[in-house]
């Protein structure tokens, strides 16, 4: 009898484990999982505070940057599009790992927009949203340490291309732009935080970054202060989009709602206003020289 009872107890416990696992899997599949890089996730929490994403009407302020605002815009577009499934955030390791997990259906989408160049070959496995950042709109500054007098004194392309620049080998549009401009002293690191550290330590002179909406257009990364070289800017060529997994059970529903919401927000000017208020479309750069203007 003891053996029978032990076997019966074991079978009951096994059934309970399988039921719990099945329930967890079903819950995961019914959640719209959005991949977020950890530094973006932290700034997103700080930017929102006690607010909900759908309640944001002004997109500037502390911790507002393009990546954070895009996560806000995504949620607002989904609400406008009628998407009602719960959203869940999944911290991701890096840019290309996050794309791969969307392709494989492990996550549904990515919080920030992705270069079309990095998505085009996966159109059979991904829905690709309409462009959120249009071609030519991705304007960046050339950022350096406030102590780097050589970099700060470099005002033309001939001088700038003598500087050491850091980027990621995975950021193909950035890399193509740098090479097309004539930069050949290029070092690589996988993420933005490491880039800021390298500039701060003097291992490189400069890094490219979107501007931020403050008086000096400065960027603070883990206590590291970076400032742009005054008077010059660069356009990274290409458009940026949200990818949505075709293999995720919620993929079609999510994408339909996203496109509907994005269309409304584009029509009423919300997307452009959000980028302007967070500093991505910076109002003080009109007179700054664009080093790679579009050709006719």
Confidence (pLDDT) at 17: 46
Q: Report d(CA 190, CA 281) in Å as an integer.
A: 25
Residue with tokens 């309970």: 16
Q: Report d(CA 187, CA 206) in Å as an integer.
A: 10
Q: Region 74-97: what's the mean pLDDT? A: 93
pLDDT(209) > 90: yes
Tell me, which fold does domain 138-237 have in CATH?
A: D-Maltodextrin-Binding Protein; domain 2 (3.40.190)
% of the chain surpassing 70 pLDDT: 90
Mean predicted lDDT score pLDDT of the chain: 90
Q: Where are the domains of the chain?
A: 33-134+240-285, 138-237
Tell me, which fold does domain 33-134+240-285 have in CATH?
A: D-Maltodextrin-Binding Protein; domain 2 (3.40.190)
Within this chain, domains 33-134+240-285 and 138-237 share the same CATH topology = yes
The region that residue 6 occupies, defined by phi over 0 for left and psi between -120 and 50 for alpha, beta otherwise, is: alpha
Closest to 280 in 3D by CA, of 120, 98, 73? 73
Distances (CA, A) of 178 to 48, 116, 142, 184, 191: 34, 18, 11, 8, 17
Question: What are the pLDDT digits (tens) for 168-189?
Answer: 988 899 999 999 999 999 999 9
Q: Using CB atoms within 10 A of its CB, is residue 11 exposed (0-12), middle (13-18) or buried (19+)?
A: exposed
Question: What are the pLDDT digits (tens) for 107-145?
Answer: 999 999 999 999 999 999 999 999 999 998 999 999 999
- List the beta bridge partners of residue 219: 226
Closest to 219 in 3D by CA, of 235, 195, 201? 195
Confidence (pLDDT) at 28: 44
Question: What are the pLDDT digits (tens) for 17-53?
Answer: 444 433 333 444 568 999 999 989 999 999 999 999 9
Q: Report d(CA 2, CA 18) in Å as an integer.
A: 24
109 token code pair:
């989408």
Q: Report d(CA 193, CA 35) in Å as an integer.
A: 18
């Amino acid at each position: 009898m003891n053996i029978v009872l032990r076997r019966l107890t074991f079978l009951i416990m096994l059934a309970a484990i399988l039921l719990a696992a099945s329930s967890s899997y079903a819950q995961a599949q019914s959640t719209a999982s959005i991949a977020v890089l950890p530094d973006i996730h932290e700034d997103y929490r700080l930017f929102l505070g006690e607010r909900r994403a759908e309640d944001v009407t002004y997109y500037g302020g502390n911790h507002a940057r393009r990546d954070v605002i895009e996560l806000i815009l995504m949620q607002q577009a989904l609400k406008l599009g009628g998407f009602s499934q719960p959203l869940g955030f999944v911290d991701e390791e890096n840019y290309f790992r996050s794309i791969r997990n969307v392709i494989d259906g492990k996550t549904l989408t990515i919080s920030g927009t992705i270069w079309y160049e990095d998505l085009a070959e996966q159109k059979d496995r991904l829905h690709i949203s309409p462009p959120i950042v249009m071609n030519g709109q991705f304007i960046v500054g050339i950022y350096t340490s406030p102590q780097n007098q050589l970099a700060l004194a470099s005002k033309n392309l001939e001088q700038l291309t003598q500087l050491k620049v850091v980027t990621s080998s995975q950021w193909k549009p950035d890399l193509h732009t740098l090479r097309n401009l004539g930069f050949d002293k290029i070092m690589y690191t996988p993420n933005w935080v490491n880039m800021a550290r390298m500039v701060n330590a003097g291992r490189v002179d400069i890094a490219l970054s979107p501007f931020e909406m403050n008086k000096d257009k400065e960027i603070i990364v883990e206590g590291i202060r970076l400032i742009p070289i005054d008077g010059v800017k660069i356009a990274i060529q290409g458009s940026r989009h949200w990818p949505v997994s075709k293999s995720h059970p919620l993929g079609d529903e999510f994408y339909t709602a996203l496109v509907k919401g994005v269309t409304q927000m584009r029509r009423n000017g919300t997307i452009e206003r959000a980028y302007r208020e967070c500093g991505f479309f910076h109002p003080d750069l009109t007179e700054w020289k664009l080093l790679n203007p579009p050709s006719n």
